[in-house]
Structure 1
Amino acid sequence: MSRPVGWAWLAIVALLLAAAVVRIHDIGAQDIWADEGFTYFATQTSDLVGLLRSDVHPPLYFGALRLWAGVAGTSELALRLPSALAGLLTVALVFRLALDLSVMQAPRQAAVFAGLAALMMVLSDLEVDLSQEARMYTVQSALSVAAVIAYVRWLKRGRRGMLVVLAVCSAALVYVNYLGAWIPVTIGLHAVLTMRPRRAIPLVAALIAAAAAAAPWLLAVGVQQVGNGAGADRADPATWDTLLRYRDIWFGQMWPLTVGLLGVGAIAWLQPSRRPLERRIGVLLILWIALPLALTWIATNYVPVLAAHRISHVTPAIALLIALGLMRFPAGARMFIVVTLVVSGVTSVDFYRIKGPWEQYVDTVASFVRPGELVLMEIGGGDSMLEYYFDRALPQGTELRSLKRWRESQPLTFSAELPQVVNSYDTVWLLHWSSETQIFDVLQSAGFVQTMHRTTPHIQDSRLDSYRFDRMPEGEVGQIGPLVLRRAKLLQNRGRIDLWWSVETPVTEMLVTSAFLLDSDGALVAQMDSPPMMGERPVSSFTPGEVVYDPKLLTTPDGALLPGGTYRAGVVVYRFVDGGTERLLRPDGGEVLELGEFTID
């Protein structure tokens, strides 16, 4: 094993600092998305095993994150930080593995090689992106490198303790992500191809022990997960275009150079002039890349599992081969190539997933929901990310239901139970992004009227829809000008007045609805003026007979919450004329619709 020279430790510290910057910077910039929402849900459920029976993942990562969340909380940073730390650990382990491979005789050369391998990991956009997700893939990479380190040390020194480490890492890989099993499979195949049978017996025993440790979960739960299909819509097809995309993900925009360097590194490791052990290590690195990709490619024809992030644990092997390719160049040329790769890596992005405006989407309804109302989610790709944000935003006493999860978990009773649940409420909120439209028919049959529709722009020019449905009482509160106030609610202790308007004939002019509060002395203490629905539904957009929800959030002029006391509420409507405003009148000639009194504690 090569020991790094003194400056090499400074180099790895610098590389780890750089890795930390790119992995932790803006780690919470993007919203939690569907897969991360499932991770959050796993930290909250009381039946983790039951939850995973309906999913496609093993338990170790989720169980560990539950313990972490109990201490660190469930903010975006808290949920994602373990992935970032595992990403940093992977960089450090790649540095250590490169030293252990000892392909360079001189300590200085070995340290340069290790530093270059770690640098390739620092620059990997795939690793950076996965380090900023509350998922298990950087943990998988770290365990993969640790398993290979243990195997290489056993190969070189025959240390039996390393086989224990290998067995533990191999079992842990299966418990973290099923495709992590490709690493012990790769190690086992490498032993078959390069070792005498008697020499391989202890290794085979270690791998059998790892398989035995994984067997209870696989037999008890894993077999039930086959065919669940979670994440199938995000699997890649086994096509040439997918290979080209993977080329760009792992080798970047300068792929002719990086692929060439990998080829040079592979050839250098397999040269006949190399010692037998070094050639065997070269075979190991090539298998480390080729076997997981090939096996996943084959498997996806039966179970849709092919995705770059699921086999991201091949990235360290790619980094090591590229680093060795760089070592074949003179120092000056090598420095020029490294600078070129760094500049390209810093100025371009080869892998980045846009995760959607899920918090913004939840905000379209969450701030208006009152206790005792029903919130439904119908999201085709999964809605656990919405649940993450709703859990932080909804008032206590609000029922939140996932229609997709409900339908899939209770397929025989769902259609009968849905109308029963809906009929027990007077207000239903719906977030809808799906081809499934049953809920609209159920709400219409139950006598609900759509009173709000908001949209949130999403990726690829799609939109996310949010709705409010109400049971409207007979009659009306009053009329001002062409606007009929169908209903009004004073929300005590929240400083909000909810209004519902309609028109009998189309209106073309701009009208402003104004809700206000007067104190016991008749002084104005709060007021909100805007076209209906926070300015999003001008009266000119109303269709006759349509009912439009118009919430008015009332605060004092300085933006503070209303102090406790008794208030009188009222509504006026005005229009703009000749640079000023003109109040519209009630049929009896009055200007104000009195809404009554309410008290804020």
Structure 2
Amino acid sequence: MPAPEPIVGRTPRAHATTATVAIALFGTLLTAVGSWQPSYWNDEAASLRLARLDPVEILRFVQEKDAVHAVYALLLHWWTAVFGETEFAVRLPSAIAVGATAAAVFVLLRRLDAPRAALPAAIAVLLLPRAGAAGLDARSFALATACLTWSAVALVTAARQPSRGRRWVLLALGLAASVALFLYAALVLPAFVAWALCQRTDRRRIAVRTALASAAALAVTSPLVVLAATQRGQVAWLRDQPVNPWTVGVESVFLDAWWLAAGVLALLVTTLVVAVRRGRRPGPAWLLFLLWVTVPTLALVAATVTLGPLFTPRYLTIVVPAVAGLVGSSIAALRGSWRPVVATALIALSVPSFLTARGETAKPGGQPLRAVATYVQEHARTGDAVVFGTTGTVSLRPRIALAAYPAAFAGLDDVAFRSSWTGTGTYSDRLLPRAATARAELRHDRVWVLVGNDGTRPGATGAQLLGAGYERVVERDFGGITVEAWER
């Protein structure tokens, strides 16, 4: 009788791979829960408008505006062609990216010889409100951050064996993908080079190769960077964005969850004080994450002060993995009995933000665009006229509902429309003057009017409608947008 074959157990590497995949899946599922509930908002409407064009039209449009979003628009174009334009489908790539970021942080800390911090840090990614917001948004921030975090994994892996050229190529490709998706990701590159300069062995070779990989990434993306630089005027709205300790130090990572920010700050300060008292030097993980947080943050603030408005809190989504890494490292530094207590407390502190982010009007501006579009779709008749408010804050105008949910207004006569936005170099359609809009409006027996929060009625005035024999049969306030129906 032959001897039984020995049972071969799973290797630690196989266990780590399984854990990485599990974290990525869990992170994706957690982020995607409720992602279908918030209504689209202005920026997502812009993403969808651009993604609906064919690739040639996208490339033509970005010559005039939004070159920074060209790569994401192409990806979203192909994604929506397969999966459609529901809120869940459109936001799913961002949710997947958050899961991928959490998994990358887990792998990164293991590669940095801090395995005890790996799982808490991965969970911290999912708890930080800015990561959640990015995962619920049809924009490129989550994807760029995921690419950047996996680039950090490639950097640490390459630094261990700097003679392996393929690993440096992977680093360059990851950095190029990050910058192509979000140009501000380039602000993290100096932090990576600085970390390489702090290595105890092979410092010069690692730093030179990190710098070369970064330079290669910038060279590959340089056409996009140069084109975007010529379109700097499109971020003129940033001059109204305050730059202060709250927007930079809290809102960038925690949104309005000051209580969670306070808890994280207390944890980090306590850990640092204990480390200083015990004479501990920061390890490679702490050093990387501190550089990752401080270098891009200071660079962005300095550029805003010296060059003009370049800052808004969500642009620092790219530092979220590093903040999560610091949180995980701090929890790992605690005594065993304190770790679950602190971790549970941070989870509890993150719950309000998690729930709030999934409200129907949770997006910036709080506009109920889907509710408005659904109401009109359910009550309007084919051939009715529709007039959208076009005054007030650009990002809050009722016409955004048409861009976000065009199917809801199919069959209605958009009487103010003159020509498509694709020929204007902006996301705004070219419209008829108000007098011409009013004349076109009065040719219909039933008119839907969407009035913005500034109260300015588009097209015909109420007096003109009453004088022409119309009666207002519907007036419904959706909070920021009022829907009216007039009949004669």
Q: Give the structure-2-normalised TM-score.
A: 0.79
- 2:394 is the alignment partner of 1:381: yes
How big is the shift at 1:332?
1.6
Do residues 79 (structure 1) and 90 (structure 2) align?
A: yes
Q: 1:6 to 1:266 in 2, by over 3 A?
A: farther
Matched, 1:343 2:348: yes
> How far off its partner does 1:264 sit?
5.5
Q: Secondary structure at the match of 2:137?
A: coil
- Higher share of residues assigned strand: 1
Deviates more, 1:7-16 or 1:56-65: 7-16
Q: Which residue of 2 aligns with 1:466?
A: 483
Q: Aligned pair in 2 of structure 1 residues 405, 388: CA closer, same or farther (>3 Å)?
A: closer
Q: Calculate the aligned-residue CA RMSD, in Å.
A: 3.9
Residue identity in the other structure for 1:202 = R
Q: How far has the Cα of 1:86 moved from its partner?
A: 0.9
Name the structure 1 match of 2:5. none
- 1:266–1:286 CA contact under 8 A, matched in 2: no
Query: One-letter code of the match for 1:259?
Result: L
2: CA distance, partners of 1:63 / 1:465: 34
Q: Which amino acid aligns with 2:83?
A: A
Q: Is structure 2 residue 45 aligned with structure 1 residue 34?
A: no
| SS of residue paired to 2:483 | strand
Distance 1:231 1:350 in 2: 29
Instruction: Confirm whether residue 157 of structure 1 aligns to residue 161 of structure 2.
Output: yes
Q: Which one has the bigger helix percentage?
A: 2
Q: Percent identity?
A: 20
Q: 2:371 aligns with which of 336, 354, 360?
A: 360
Q: In the superposition, relative to structure 1, how do residues 305 and 269 fare at CA in structure 2: closer, same or farther (>3 Å)? A: farther
Give the 3-state SS of the residue equivalent to 1:135 in structure 2. coil
Report if the CA contact (8 A) 2:68-2:224 is conserved: no
Shift of 1:329: 2.0
Q: Is the 8 A contact 1:183 1:292 kept in 2?
A: yes
Distance 1:26 1:337, change over 3 A: same
CA distance in 2, matches of 1:183, 1:416: 46
**Local SS of the residue matching 2:139:** coil
Q: Does the 8 A contact of 1:285 with 1:321 survive in 2?
A: yes
Q: 1:261 aligns with which of 243, 267, 283?
A: 267
Q: Deviations over 1:487-519 (max 9, x none)?
A: xxxxxxxxxxxx63xxxxxxxxxxxxxxxxxxx
> Match of 1:331, SS?
coil
Once the two structures are superposed, residues 141-182 of structure 1 have per-residue CA deviations (whole angstroms, 9 ceiling, x without a partner) of 101101111111121211322221221122222221121111
Specify the code of the residue in structure 2 equivalent to 1:464. I
How many Å apart are 1:216 and its aligned residue? Answer: 1.3
Matched ranges for 1:105-184 at <5 A: 110=115, 112-158=116-162, 159-184=164-189
**Which residue in 1 is equivalent to 2:478?**
457
With over 3 angstroms needed to count, the CA separation of the structure-2 counterparts of 1:87 and 1:199, relative to structure 1, is closer
2:369 and 2:181 map into 1 onto residues whose CA distance is: 27
Worse-matched range after superposition: 359-368 or 86-95: 359-368
Tell me the CA shift for residue 44 of structure 1.
1.3
Q: How does 1:291-306 map to 2 (within 5 A)?
A: 291-301=295-305, 302-306=307-311
Using a 3 Å threshold, how does the CA distance of structure 1 residues 466 and 315 change in structure 2: closer, same or farther?
same
Q: Which amino acid aligns with 1:398?
A: D
Q: What is the aligned partner in structure 2 of residue 394 from structure 1?
A: 409
Q: Does the CA-based 8 Å contact 2:197-2:204 persist in structure 1?
A: yes
Aligned AA for 2:59?
Answer: V
Q: What is the one-letter code of the residue matched to 1:185?
A: P
Q: Which runs of 5+ in 1 are unaligned?
A: 104-109, 470-498, 501-601
Match of 1:98, SS state, is helix
2:112 corresponds to 1:101: yes
Deviation of the 1:303 alpha carbon: 4.4
Q: Which has the higher contact order (CA 8 A, sep 6+)?
A: 2
5+ residue gaps, structure 2, are 1-10
What whole-Å deviation, never above 9, does each CA across 1:302-349 have from its counterpart, x for those lacking one?
A: 444433322112111111112111222221222222222233333665
CA deviation string 1:186-205 (max 9, x = no partner): 22344456685555333322
- After TM superposition, the score normalised by the length of structure 1 is 0.65
How far is 1:419 from its partner?
4.0
Shift of 1:5: 7.2
Verify the 8 A CA contact 1:72 1:78 in the aligned structure 2.
Answer: yes
SS in 2 for 1:466: strand
Q: Deviations over 1:249-290 (max 9, x none)?
A: 17862544422433466679999766xxx7455332111001
Q: 1:222 aligns with which of 220, 228, 241?
A: 228
Contact 2:95/2:135 (<8 A) preserved: yes
1:327 partner letter: A
Equivalent-residue separation in structure 1 for 2:383 and 2:422 (angstroms)? 25
What is the number of residues matched between the two proteins?
A: 452
